[in-house]
């Protein structure tokens, strides 16, 4: 070969859209394509983007293989670059075409570094190689960097995972996936959006439950809409005063996945005080009798997919009807910074239904949610107020139950809102 390297520019068409959005399959295929061609793999780095698309590169001793996919078009753009004569990039091309189930492909080969145009410099390569000490190497070891990325047009969160996707199934409602992340443990995602992780789920679940339970100590019957991961009912059932907790989750695959891979979160599904229903939460609320529940928690995903119907005035009117005269509704109410439009809209809706002075916002820090700042709403049908609570009982409970986030001081502090949040709500919350 009269060049330093061979570079094949590849386009794969009519690929499986499913495979083009599967970061684990693509990373494994690209590594295998390099190895099948006889290359020595050094490192792989791959990102999955939300809602779809994968980018990545496999660094080989002989150069690299790179890819970006457009699942919505069943299309992949691939670069296969090899140096020297030891690796045939066309072997990788054939391997990937089959791995991606491509209908057809097009390619163009370029010879890089034409030898007749190059002049070799006169320097001692061996001395240069000895300048820096080499780190210890494990023969055959590959550094693999596989990333999950949740993003929109303006912001992104990336988490590195092991490349081992523990669970992936499509229900009639959404795609349910669990990844093994390196920093946050196992992570549940729905349609590419982070729902919870093993390392920080306690923040969300403790704040959505213990704030209302200590503000409304007479509560005996609680209803949770959504929350199939089990964290919310786990925290509620720590309170012995509750005689019954009903969980209505529309997607049984969420329950299945979390029982298997988030067992600490899904630990309470066999509790005798839990009434677990796999059903449509909207339908359940519409058919619920008046005044049935002291506490209703809307543990919904974001206002898309199966959770979209949980963000309507009609739904909240039905929730209000189902509460006892002194009942309380709690919702997750999005990030005031990331999703300020929805944040403002839903609080306006709550105030129209419950009353201007009966709706309160509180915040918590959740690292794996967009911006890290997340909000919850406390809406009271009666006279219950979130800052009129038994501090001593909350303090004792926090210690006795080994809570990781909630305590009596956090309870109070969570309702101290930054000025920009007050501005969005147009309130001087006290």
H or E element: which one contains 109? Answer: strand 104-114
Q: Could you give the CA distance from residue 297 to residue 345 in angstroms, rounded to a whole number?
A: 19
- Beta-carbon contacts of 34 under 8 Å, excluding residues fewer than 6 positions away, are 41, 58, 60, 65, 92
Residue 280 annotated as binding site: yes
Give yes or no for a contact between 195 and 188, defined as CB atoms under 8 angstroms apart. Answer: yes
The reply to whether 89 sits in an annotated binding site is: no
Q: Is 326 annotated as a binding residue?
A: no
Q: Could you give the C-alpha distances from 220 to 171, 213, 427, in angstroms and in order? A: 33, 10, 31
Q: State the Rg of the chain over Cα.
A: 27
Compute CA distances 39 → 10, 11, 57, 157, whole Å. Answer: 18, 21, 14, 33
251 is in an annotated binding site: no
Question: Is 116 annotated as belonging to a binding site?
Answer: no
Separation in Å, CA 24 to CA 81, 99, 151, 356: 22, 12, 18, 49
Pair type for strands 41-49 and 54-60:
antiparallel
Q: What angle do CA 299, 360, 223 make, to 5 degrees?
A: 30
Q: What contacts 167, CB < 8 A, 6 or more positions away? A: 176, 177, 178, 257, 260, 261
Q: How many CB atoms lie within 10 A of CB 123?
A: 8
What are the angstrom distances between the C-alpha of 337 and each of 136, 206, 310, 375?
46, 22, 21, 10
Cα 293–296–299 angle (5° rounding)? 155
Active site residues: 63, 68, 83, 299
Q: Is residue 299 marked as binding? A: yes
Of the candidates 211, 191, 257, 194, the residue with the CA atom closest to the CA atom of residue 230: 257
Q: Exposed, middle or buried: residue 213 (CB in 10 Å: 0-12, 13-18, 19+)?
A: buried
State the Cα–Cα distance between residues 61 and 74, nearest whole angstrom. 30
Residue 302 known to bind ligand: yes
Rounded-to-integer distance, Cα 202 and Cα 184, Å: 12
Residue positions forming the annotated binding site: 174, 205, 229, 249, 280-281, 299-302, 306
Residue positions forming the annotated binding site for spermidine: 205, 229, 299-302
Residue positions forming the annotated binding site for S-methyl-5'-thioadenosine: 174, 249, 280-281, 306
């Amino acid at each position: 070969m009269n060049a330093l390297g061979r570079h094949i520019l590849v386009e794969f068409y009519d690929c499986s859209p499913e495979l083009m959005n599967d970061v684990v399959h693509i990373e494994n295929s690209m590594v295998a394509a390099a190895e099948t061609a006889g290359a020595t793999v050094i490192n792989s780095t791959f990102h999955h983007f939300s809602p779809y698309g994968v980018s990545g590169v496999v660094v080989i001793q002989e150069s690299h293989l790179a890819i970006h996919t457009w699942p919505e078009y069943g299309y992949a753009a691939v670069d296969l670059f090899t140096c020297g004569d030891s690796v045939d990039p066309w072997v990788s091309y054939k391997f990937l075409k089959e791995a991606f189930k491509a209908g057809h492909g097009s390619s163009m080969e370029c010879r890089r570094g034409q030898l007749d145009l190059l002049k070799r410099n006169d320097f001692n390569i061996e001395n240069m190689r000895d300048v820096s000490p080499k780190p210890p190497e494990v023969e055959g070891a590959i550094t693999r960097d596989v990333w999950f990325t949740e993003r929109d047009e303006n912001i992104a969160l990336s988490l590195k995972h092991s490349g081992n996707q523990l669970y992936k199934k499509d229900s009639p409602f959404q795609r349910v996936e669990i990844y093994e992340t390196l920093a946050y443990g196992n992570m549940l995602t729905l349609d590419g959006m982070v729902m919870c992780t093993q390392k920080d789920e306690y923040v969300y679940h403790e704040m959505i439950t213990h704030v209302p339970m200590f503000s409304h100590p007479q509560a005996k019957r609680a209803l949770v809409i959504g929350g199939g991961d089990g964290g919310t009912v786990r925290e509620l059932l720590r309170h012995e005063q509750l005689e019954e907790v009903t969980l209505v989750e529309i997607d049984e695959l969420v329950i299945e996945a979390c029982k298997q891979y988030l067992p600490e979160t899904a630990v309470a599904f066999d509790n005798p005080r839990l009434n677990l229903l796999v059903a449509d939460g909207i339908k359940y609320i519409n058919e619920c009798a008046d005044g049935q529940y002291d506490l209703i928690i809307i543990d919904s995903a974001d206002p898309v997919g199966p959770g979209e119907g949980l963000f309507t005035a009609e739904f909240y009117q039905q929730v209000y009807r189902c509460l006892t005269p002194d009942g309380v509704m709690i919702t997750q109410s999005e990030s005031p910074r990331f999703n300020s439009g929805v944040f403002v809209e839903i609080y306006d809706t709550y105030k129209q239904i419950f009353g201007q002075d009966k709706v309160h916002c509180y915040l918590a820090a959740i690292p794996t949610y967009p911006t890290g700042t997340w909000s919850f709403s406390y809406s009271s049908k009666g006279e219950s107020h979130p800052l009129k609570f038994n501090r001593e009982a909350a303090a004792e409970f926090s210690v006795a139950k080994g809570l990781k986030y909630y305590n009596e001081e956090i309870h109070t502090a969570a309702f101290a809102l930054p000025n920009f949040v007050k501005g969005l709500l147009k309130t001087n919350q006290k």
